[in-house]
Every structure is written in structure tokens, then in C-alpha cells.
Amino acid sequence: MNAPERIDPAARCANALRFLAADAVEQARSGHPGAPMGMAEMAEVVWRRHLRHNPANPAWPDRDRFVLSNGHASMLLYAVLHLSGYALPVAQLRQFRQLHAMTPGHPEVGVTPGIETTTGPLGQGLANAVGMALAEKLLAATFNRPGHAIVDHHTYVFLGDGCLMEGISHEAGSLAGTLGLGKLICLYDDNGISIDGEVSGWFADDTPRRFAAYGWHVIPDVDGHDAQAIDAAIVQARAQGERPTLICCKTVIGKGAPAKAGGHDVHGAPLGPQEIAAMRAALGWEAEPFAVPPDVAAAWDARAQGAEREAGWNARFACYSAAYPELAAEFLRRVEGRLPTAFEAGLTALLEAPSALHGKIATRKASQLTLEALTAALPELLGGSADLTGSNLTDVKASVWVNHAGQGNYVSYGVREFGMAAAMNGMALHGGLIPYGGTFMTFSDYSRNAIRMAALMRQRVIHVLTHDSIGLGEDGPTHQPVEHAASLRLIPNNQVWRPCDGVETALAWLAAVRRDNGPSCLLLSRQALTPFARDSGQLAGIRRGGYVLQDARTPQAVLIATGSEVEIAMRAAAFLAEEGIGARVVSMPCVELFHAQDAAYREAVLPAGVPRVSVEAGVTWFWRAVVGEGGATIGIDTFGESAPADALYQHFGLTPAHVADAVRALLGKP
């Protein structure tokens, strides 16, 4: 038998990725080997020749970001991280897809060192990367000074056919082109295969022309297995900084597998021991499963180079600090996610002094007043709206709309709710910004999966969701949220606030800004709401998610309400008081936060044995667990109607009289 032909060192580095991916999927008997094998050369070129990173410090602020949007190819990224020198030992590769391993089925930020974002729902990684690239551009415009470029990095993305089929790819791609995100470089794994087979039957887009129409710099027809061609394309992409780049790499899925390469069978199933053995023979790979030849391991090791690159940046940052000490301190504060020590002062003054915040106003307007106070103290706040600024009231006097040069603190996202939410996730992951964005609450359906991803990743992202009920009136059921509050509350680690007046709105904002381990959704009214007076204990209760707004000497029933329905509960309690029936009114602006309190506090607010009635202009089933057996729920279990708000509240029985009737029925007092 002839000795195998000598393989180029770069090709051996790519083959190491192929075999680690194939071996891990084989051992797990689960996973997707085809995409990692097909993208091996792409990964070798990006990670060994272009990506600026330091395995010893995955959080280095000026590192390049890498996003694997086609997250099912996770073993490619795990193999790269392991070989590059990240704290991901081979034992973890052997535990691929096993319980509590650092190598879950799809990449998860916070689980594996070096992972920048959690990917899996296709297309969202691309949108996250758009947010990261925008964050880089905005921070560079804020902090860089002549001769001192302390923010100067690229965002690289791998994506596949599935990412481009998802509609979010249009939203994200269009926005990136419009904003001229020139440091965003995407490599498209054009292998023509998805789970169902060859994509030509359901995906015949002219992708290069599509992205060119967005204003992207497009490099078509690159051989995805020719390392020199890939390298030349990336060099070309980096040379221009005015437009994002799409490099279209034609690849063979499962490249290297003698019998299965190029077919859909290799997409989402192990190759099998016979095919892996045949691949080892065909590629001249003599190493045992999970083993890497010493020369290949040495070629991949990026620790020395990474330390040198970070040291160079540290030296430049030291010079920057000497020249601009205040800017340097502010930069570090922001990238570390630390809030200014006195940022609450303006908001405290707003709460304590007589102001419009204490009047009868819509909570969306109270939100804007709160933002006026917060924005002055929190320069990292980055606002925006999905083409509803005048309705969401998400802008303030200091808002400057982001332009092509990367200047500004407010993004007009256009009608792109999903893209906005996913891009905000990318901004939060990048660091240095606290993003908030607005749309109508009913359109949270469009962005819900990105909200879920923010909760999963524990990112500080704030969603301003206005027009929160049938109270918006004549627009009708298409715009009137009914199930949305309950749906958003179902997302683990998501905090949903539905304030009843200006004070609750301001404190909801404060909680959302302070929260650094998950997203917050602020559900705000279009209609003006009646304000309520509170003592210090009640103000503290707002911060705990639920509290007694008004009590009776001997409560015979507890009325639990949120948002615009708190006033209805208060008026019902007044009716009942005239009849000698004592009703406690509990405002519960954040159900999740209330239930996170200790049992003693919950019992003090909702005493056992006292009948409960919930009042909210939404589906009632959510509240059944709160009111318990023997309680009553008042809400809306159908879709809305088109009519003035007052007529709708009468039509759906959201009235003080109806609430009072429910209490009488519970107490057996018709």
C-alpha cells in the first residue's frame, strides 16, 4: 500500500475539526456532523488567520466576536475552542450533549468559555451579530480619539441556508446594510442541503443579489474548501469598512466522508463507525478518536498569540487612560456592566417632587418622563422603536437617532420587531450598552422568541410594550393584546411589569435597569390612568412586585389587579365598603417578582383563607393559580372588539360593578 500523500498543514488543521466533530457526534449518538465537516476550512481560516481573541481571557473587551448562527454545527465551535486553548478539555468533547456538560447540543453563552451568544433558533445568531457590530460602531464613535482606537474589532458570523430562509435574516440583513456595519463579516455555508434534502426545491433565492440589494459588499462563488480563496475573501472584506460583507462559500456537507458527503443523511445523524473508519483512511488520519497529532495541536494553540494581542491592547489602553482618564474610566464602567453610583438621583427627584408623573397620564407617557430622568444619568441606554416612536414614546429630548457614521443613542429599527429584539440581545451580549426597544404589546408575538433567548442568556434587555389592552380602543382585536401578558409571564427568567400609574412605571423602569440577569417587559397603557397616593411602605412594596394598595379593617376579600384595572378594583372596593364588605386591594405590577418574595411577605399581602378575585384585561386562566381554589377571575377569554375603550370595558364586564358582584357571589351575599 502506498503511503498517504503528504497533507498541507492547514488542511490537517481543518481535518482535526472534522474528526473531533465526527467522533463527538458518534459517541453521543446524537448531533449534526455534516455542517462542521463542511465548514472546517472556513473555521480554520477565520480562527487561525484572522480572529483576534485570547483563550485565557474570553471577555477581553476589544476581541473580535464570532457567532455560529447555524448553531446545530456546535461541535465545530467546541472543537475550535478546545484546540485554540480555551478552558474546554477533551473530556468535555467526549461529553457532548450529555447532562451538565460544557458542550450542550447548541452553543450556550455562559456554559462554554468563548461562546458569544446562544444560537439554535436559526437566523437569530445573524441578528445578534448585527447588534454586536452596531454596538462596536457606536462605542467606537463614543470613545475612540485620534491616535487612540480602543474599540476596533470585527464580528464574524457563520450562517447556513436555514438562517437565510428564516424571515429574521431579511430584517437583520436589511438593517445592517442601511446602517453600514462595515466590520460585520458573514460567511455563508452554501451546501445546498437541509434536513429534508436538497434545498433547491424550497430555497431558490439568488442570495448574492439579495444581499447586494441590502447594500452589502458581496463576494460570491468562493470555494469553501480552498483555504487560500477564503483567506483572500476575508482580506478583501476587511479592507473595506463601509458595508457589511457576505462571503458566499460553496461547500460540501460532510466533506471528507467517502460515502455520505453531499447528502442530507449526514446533516443530523452520526456517520457510523464504518464511515468514520473509511474517512480516517481516505484522509490519512491515524490519530485515535478525540486525539490530535502534536503538530496539529501546536498549530492550533492560540494562547501565546492571544496573550500578546491583549497585552498590545492593554498598552494602548494605558496610553488612552493617561490622555483621557475620565473617558477610560467610563469605558471600563460600561463594558463591565456597572451602573453609576448616583444614577437614581434624577429619578428620585422626579418621584419626590410634584410633577406630571403624579398626574392622570398614560403609563407610556410616564415611561417617557422616567426615561428623561434616566437618560441623563445613564449614557449606556440605547433606545429605539420598531417604527412606533410617536406611539411608544420611547424617545426623549436627548435622543439622537443613530446615523450611518455610528453617532447617536436611538435606533429607528423600522418595522422589524423580531430583528430589533434579537439585535438588542446582541448589543447586551457585546457589553457597554443597555438596549431598550418599543413596539405595541400585541406585536410581542413577532419578537417573543428573541425575548425568550434573552431570558435564557440572562441578558439585560428592556422591552417597552405599549397599547397593553383593549384600552387602545378602535384599532380592534388585531391590535388588542389579550393572551400576551400571560404568554410573556410564562417565559422563565423574564420579568413582566404592568404598572397602574406613573409611580409604578418609574419604579418598574428602575427595576429593569438594575436587573442584570435577565430581560424585562414593561406593559404600558395608551389611555390615561388615575394616580394613587402611597406611603413609604407601599413604595417598597412596588419593588417587591406586589403590595397592599388599599386595605380594609377586616378584609373579607382580596382584589388583585394590574395596570389599568387597579382603578377598577379600587372603585369596586369603594362600592363594597358602602355595604359593609371590606375588600383589600392588591396591586401586583410584577407577578414574577412577587412570587420570588419569601412566604411571610406573600402571606402578609395575600392572607390564607380570604377569598381572592383577580382583575386584568386579559386571559383569566393565568390568574387561577394566584386566586386559588374558591377564587374568581375577571378578564377576557375571547379576542377584543373595535370600539371606543369605555364601550369595550362595559362590553367585557371589566367594571367596578361586575367586580363587586363577583365578590358578593364569593361571599354568598347577592
Greatest alpha-carbon pair distance for the chain in Å reads 101
Q: Is 100 helix (H, G, I), strand (E, B) or coil?
A: coil
CA nearest neighbour of 427 among 181, 125, 121, 128: 128
The residue behind cell 377598577 is: 568
Looking only at the bridges linking them, the beta strands covering 197-198 and 193-194 are antiparallel
Q: Is 351 helix (H, G, I), strand (E, B) or coil?
A: helix
Residues sharing a CB contact under 8 Å with residue 176, sequence separation 6 or more, in sequence order: 130, 133, 134, 184, 214, 216, 244
As a whole number of angstroms, the distance between CA 530 and CA 234 comes to: 59
| Residue 117 CA from chain centroid, whole number | 9
Provide the pLDDT confidence category of residue 220 given band limits of 50, 70 and 90. Answer: very high
Provide the pLDDT confidence category of residue 76 given band limits of 50, 70 and 90. Answer: very high
Cell of 103: 458542550
How many CB atoms are located within 10 Å of the residue 586 CB?
25
As a whole number of angstroms, the distance between CA 635 and CA 441 comes to: 17
pLDDT of residue 4: 44
CA nearest neighbour of 88 among 293, 290, 304: 290
Residue 114, burial from CB neighbour count under 10 angstroms (0-12, 13-18, 19+): buried
Using one digit for the tens of pLDDT, what is the confidence trace for 127-179? 999 999 999 999 999 999 999 999 999 999 999 999 999 999 999 999 999 99
How many CB atoms are located within 10 Å of the residue 479 CB?
18
pLDDT of residue 670: 74
pLDDT of residue 1: 35
**Is residue 21 pLDDT above 70, yes or no?**
yes
- Contacts for 269-273: CB closer than 8 Å, 24+ residues apart: 269/33, 270/22, 270/25, 270/26, 270/28, 270/29, 270/30, 270/31, 270/33, 271/22, 271/25, 271/26, 271/33, 272/26, 273/26
pLDDT of residue 6: 66
Using one digit for the tens of pLDDT, what is the confidence trace for 28-74? 999 999 999 999 999 999 999 999 999 999 999 999 999 999 999 99
As a whole number of angstroms, the distance between CA 387 and CA 404 comes to: 18
444-457 and 124-143 helices, crossing angle to 10°: 70
Helix (H) or strand (E) holding 22: helix 9-28
CA nearest neighbour of 510 among 527, 525, 524, 497: 497
Using one digit for the tens of pLDDT, what is the confidence trace for 278-320? 999 999 999 999 999 999 999 999 999 999 999 999 999 999 9
Residues sharing a CB contact under 8 Å with residue 17, sequence separation 6 or more, in sequence order: 36, 37, 40, 43, 44, 76, 79, 80, 83
Specify the amino acid at residue 604. Answer: A
Q: Is 131 helix (H, G, I), strand (E, B) or coil?
A: helix
Using one digit for the tens of pLDDT, what is the confidence trace for 484-493? 999 999 999 9
DSSP assignment of 579-642 equals: TT--EEEEE-S-HHHHHTS-HHHHHHHS-TTS-EEEE-SS-SHHHHHHH-TT-EEES--S---S
Mean pLDDT (the chain) is: 97
Do the Cβ atoms of 478 and 442 come closer than 8 Å? yes
In which order are the strands placed within the sheet that holds 381-385?
410-412, 381-385, 434-440, 462-466, 520-523, 495-497
Using one digit for the tens of pLDDT, what is the confidence trace for 91-101? 999 999 999 99
Cell of 649: 370595558
- The answer to whether 41 is a known catalytic residue is no
**Is residue 3 pLDDT above 70, yes or no?**
no
Using one digit for the tens of pLDDT, what is the confidence trace for 399-450? 999 998 899 999 999 999 999 999 999 999 999 999 999 999 999 999 999 9
Provide the pLDDT confidence category of residue 563 given band limits of 50, 70 and 90. Answer: very high
Q: What is the mean pLDDT of residues 513-536?
A: 98
Using one digit for the tens of pLDDT, what is the confidence trace for 368-389? 999 999 999 999 999 999 999 9
**Is residue 650 pLDDT above 80, yes or no?**
yes
As a whole number of angstroms, the distance between CA 588 and CA 563 comes to: 8
pLDDT of residue 296: 98
pLDDT of residue 2: 42
As a whole number of angstroms, the distance between CA 654 and CA 482 comes to: 13
Buried b (16+ CB within 10 A) or exposed e, 438-461: bbbbbbbebbbbbbbbbbbbbbbb
| Residue 546 CA from chain centroid, whole number | 27
Using one digit for the tens of pLDDT, what is the confidence trace for 111-128? 999 999 999 999 999 999
Looking only at the bridges linking them, the beta strands covering 557-561 and 462-466 are unpaired
DSSP assignment of 252-296 equals: -TTTT-TTTTTSGGGTSS---HHHHHHHHHHHT--SPTT---HHH
pLDDT of residue 258: 97
**Is residue 228 pLDDT above 80, yes or no?**
yes
**Is residue 646 pLDDT above 90, yes or no?**
yes
Do the Cβ atoms of 266 and 33 come closer than 8 Å? yes
Choice among 108, 417, 565, 616 that is catalytic: 417
Q: What is the mean pLDDT of residues 102-107?
A: 98
pLDDT of residue 389: 98
Using one digit for the tens of pLDDT, what is the confidence trace for 199-218? 999 999 999 999 999 999 99
pLDDT of residue 7: 76
Using one digit for the tens of pLDDT, what is the confidence trace for 569-618? 999 999 999 999 999 999 999 999 999 999 999 999 999 999 999 999 99
Specify the amino acid at residue 344. Answer: E
pLDDT of residue 30: 97
